[in-house]
Structure 1
Amino acid sequence: MCGAVSNRVRVLVWHRIAQDGPDRIPEIYRGISEDLARTPGLLANELLYSRSRPGTVAVMSEWRDMDAFLAWEQGPDHRGTTAGLRPYRDLDRDPQYELYEVAESFVSG
């Protein structure tokens, strides 16, 4: 089913798995997700492990619209809530995060 154009926004933030210990990213991600569960405008988020770039992880969040994302990003809770993943940010990747507006979507079924 083809959908109409939406205002939804997806944000991808790139991280690297630490080479000097166990992969703690899933545990940290789950804690952050619990903290964000009732954030206005946040529709979903996912933890994605790259199949083409081993050791690379992306956190993808989907927002109702750009205003909802910017309200959260510029709000007082943003930096504190996501601080646990910050040490894993992929500093070699430029940019370290990307914003995408959903132009169209298709849902199979």
Structure 2
Amino acid sequence: MPRLPSLIALLFVVAPMGRTLTAQQASGRIVGRVIDATSGAGITDAGVQVVGTSVGTGTGVDGRFTLPSVTAGTVALRVRRIGYASKTITGLLLDAGHTLEQD
């Protein structure tokens, strides 16, 4: 039984440290719209992911998306939707505290 209180204490010590580290990471926001190249119509339910991370979202009914907290730096986005060829956009420079618009 003595090990259980030790484990609980460890969780309370580690949890606040995790929030501090996250707060120190500089991030920005990426917004945009995924459209059909032929018609120009927004593509609903396309997946938009920051390559090499688990950060991603889906597009809305008009093809718009928002990635609210992306680590600043050079990023790549991958867009996928059934019935369309996937597309990867590389070399996007995201500055901390800024919003990058990528259509």
Q: Which has the higher strand share?
A: 2
Q: Which has the higher helix share?
A: 1
Of structures 1 and 2, the larger Rg is shown by: 2
**TM-score between the two structures when normalised by the length of structure 1:** 0.33
**TM-score between the two structures when normalised by the length of structure 2:** 0.34
* Greater RCO, CA 8 A, separation 6+: 1
